[in-house]
Amino acid sequence: MPDGYYGWIQECGEAVVRVSGQTQPAYADFRPNEAKRHLDEESAKGSKERPAELPSGGLDEKSFAHHKDERLSQLPPLLIEVGPYCKLLREARDVFVDGHFYACVAMCGISFERFQRDKAKTYGATRKHKMPRVRKILQENSVLKVETLVLCKKMAKLRNDYAHGDGQKPKEDALMALTWMHSFIDNETNLMRDYVIVDGVLSRKRTAGGT
């Protein structure tokens, strides 16, 4: 079976799904569910000792898999439309799962800037504008929710902290940055807001008029 498959169930990757009778690409990442299952099985076997590092400071294959499962279990499962935002979110999640926490913070910061610039473009924002000005444009035109703008400011500060070597808790901060990124996606995009899963098929929600 190709990578990302377990039996006939695809755990992670792009797939073609039916939406209102038509097909379109979507991206799924159900690995967090499987990671939680692995950790529960370890716990049930009475394995309470935390995997130890090798003398070189690295991890053996079993220990590395355990730590990867721990990080995966902290993320929500994902099912969204394929597109530019999907790629950004995927990369940010992947570097976190692989244990590259500085890269995760940087990737989340880059993604936030992309989101904001795309949203502000309609209102005259250009690549020449600095991010504080972009956020001001978004605020003046009520483009983003107040809570989302707060997240944007927090993410900009966190990214700058790490860019200038001031980050102190990379693992915790990387997870926090990812949490903010998921909140932005949920608050401000329609990547999954307009869809539900019915009988295993991704389907577009009915409008108020029933169409």
| DSSP secondary structure string for all residues of 51-95 | PPPPTTS---HHHHHHHHHHHHHTSPPEEEE-SHHHHHHHHHHHH
- Is 210 inside any structural domain? no
Contacts of 78 (CB under 8 A, 6+ apart): 27, 28, 29, 30, 89, 93
Same domain, 142 and 160: yes
DSSP 8-state assignment for residue 202 = E
Same domain, 86 and 96: yes
Rounded to the nearest integer, the mean pLDDT of the chain is 81
Report percent pLDDT > 90 for the chain.
Answer: 47
- Is 2 inside any structural domain? no
Domain count, the chain: 2
Same domain, 122 and 82: yes
- Is 5 inside any structural domain? no
Choose between 145 and 195: higher pLDDT.
145
Q: Are 196 and 79 in contact (CB under 8 A)?
A: no
For residue range 5-29, list pLDDT tens digits in order: 333 345 777 766 655 566 667 788 8
Choose between 76 and 178: higher pLDDT.
178
C-alpha closest to that of 96 among 189, 31, 150, 40? 31
- Is 91 inside any structural domain? yes
Tell me the longest C-alpha to C-alpha distance in the chain: 65
What's the CATH number where 170 sits? 1.20.120.330
pLDDT confidence of residue 6 = 37
pLDDT tier, 41 (very low <50, low <70, confident <90, very high otherwise): confident
Same domain, 105 and 186: yes
Same domain, 82 and 46: no
Q: Which of 76, 101, 131 is the last residue of a domain?
A: 76
Show the domain range for 170. 10-30+77-204
Same domain, 111 and 135: yes
**How far does CA 91 lie from the centroid of its chain?**
8
Cite the DSSP H helix spans in 122-208.
131-140, 146-163, 170-188
Same domain, 82 and 65: no
Q: Which of 76, 100, 134 is the last residue of a domain?
A: 76
Residue 159 has pLDDT above 80, yes or no: yes
Cα–Cα dist 76/176, whole Å: 13
Choose between 52 and 108: higher pLDDT.
108
Same domain, 24 and 45: no
pLDDT tier, 108 (very low <50, low <70, confident <90, very high otherwise): very high
Same domain, 196 and 119: yes
State the burial class of residue 70 (Cβ atoms within 10 Å of its Cβ: 0-12, 13-18, 19+).
Answer: middle
pLDDT confidence of residue 206 = 63
Residue 51 has pLDDT above 60, yes or no: no
pLDDT confidence of residue 208 = 46
Residue 110: what residue type?
I
DSSP 8-state assignment for residue 205 = P
